[in-house]
Amino acid sequence: MKDNYYIGVDIGGTNTKYGLVNEKGEIIFSGSFNTKSYSNPKDLVNDIYTEYINKSNEQHIKASGIGIGAPNGNFYSGCIEFAPNLNWGENIPIANIFCDKFQLPVILTNDANAAAIGEKFFGAAKEMNDFVVLTIGTGLGSGIFANGNIIHGKNGLAGELGHTIIKESNRKCSCGRIGCLETYVSSRGILQTYKEECASNGREFISEEMTTKEIYNLALNGDKIAIQTYKITGEALGHSLANLILILDPEAIFLFGGIANAHPILIPTIRETINDNVLLLFKDKVKILPSALLNKNAAILGSTALFNLKVIRR
């Protein structure tokens, strides 16, 4: 039986990566481009095409389609809509640009959905029909599976958990509103919490260049302010997840993205907060786990798996 291959593309504000992936989720070859160096998405797609054609000719492999994961990528329109970290305009018809150049079918979704689809087909959710993947990095995204399928919603905008309003926050969000969950649960949010905890504990905040990884290392070494910082983060997330669990009754919630590497310290707090805030019936029902694709390229893998989904196309 002939294997099927798909191209997965992960468009990010800094780097754009692509890979040729087989049906087992193995990356046959891949490449990376500096997104910021392209003033026009067509030039980027041309360069990916040139490299892809050379490599695929060498290996005598042809792809059957292209899956793209991108911030604010809309499954229905095939456009990247109002992405704050891309300077290519408000509506980028990225699916059409790839389709025109490669002459292959193209499916687009947002990066959090791609991660969730990756978890379903190549990660720890293979046997699950109802689960959520959180992508915690610069911002907070979520990809939701119910009844074995990704939820895109009516307009392709589902999963904006990061912008739900929480009672804990009076912080201004990058979206312009006050009190979004991602003002606490994101790299930016964690840094701000650490800064505030330093101030209220009489510690001088060292540098604006500090990273969440450094704070995590401090916490691992027993630093109380750093531990408290991750506790506050886990509690804010746990409160929101308790409500999400009551609505969706998922089997598991997976943590993905840079911040998810702090799962050994985050997950116990998240679990405890969830158990303190759900109905008795839901206690200890939902698994809180690190993604099985953590630090792998879930967006490349997941976007190729878009072709495996029985999705409703509208």
- Residues of the shown chain interacting with a second copy in the complex, contacts defined by CB under 8 A: 81-82, 128-130, 142, 144, 146-149, 151-161, 163-165, 167, 175-177, 239, 242-244, 246-251, 277, 279-282, 285-286, 311-312, 314
Q: Are 88 and 106 in contact (CB under 8 A)?
A: no
Report yes or no: 68 and 102 within 8 Å, Cβ to Cβ: no
Which residue's CB is nearer to a second copy, number 128 or number 198?
128
Question: Considering beta carbons, is residue 159 or 290 the nearer one to a second copy?
Answer: 159
φ, ψ at 97 (rounded to 5°): -65, -45
- Which of 271, 186, 165, 274 is closest to 229 using CA atoms? 186
Q: What is the dihedral of CA 290, 293, 298, 301, to 10 degrees?
A: -140
Q: Shortest distance, CB of residue 225 to a second copy, whole angstroms? A: 27
Closer residue to a second copy in complex, CB, 2/314: 314
Contact 67, 306 (CB under 8 A): yes
Q: How far is the CB of 184 from a second copy (least distance, A)?
A: 14
- Residue closer to a second copy (CB basis): 127 or 208: 127
Q: Which is nearer to a second copy, 5 or 145 (CB)?
A: 145
CB of 172 to a second copy, least distance (A): 14
CB of 144 to a second copy, least distance (A): 7
Rounded Cα distance between 275 and 289, Å, is: 15
The minimum distance between CB 55 and a second copy, in angstroms, equals 36
CA 230 to chain centre: 20
Structural contact between residues 174 and 153, judged by C-beta atoms closer than 8 angstroms: no
Pick the closest to residue 255 from 276, 284, 233, 277 (CA basis).
233
Question: Which CB atom, from 129 or from 217, has the smaller least distance to a second copy?
Answer: 129
Q: CB 147 → a second copy: shortest distance, Å?
A: 5
Residue type (1 letter), 148: G
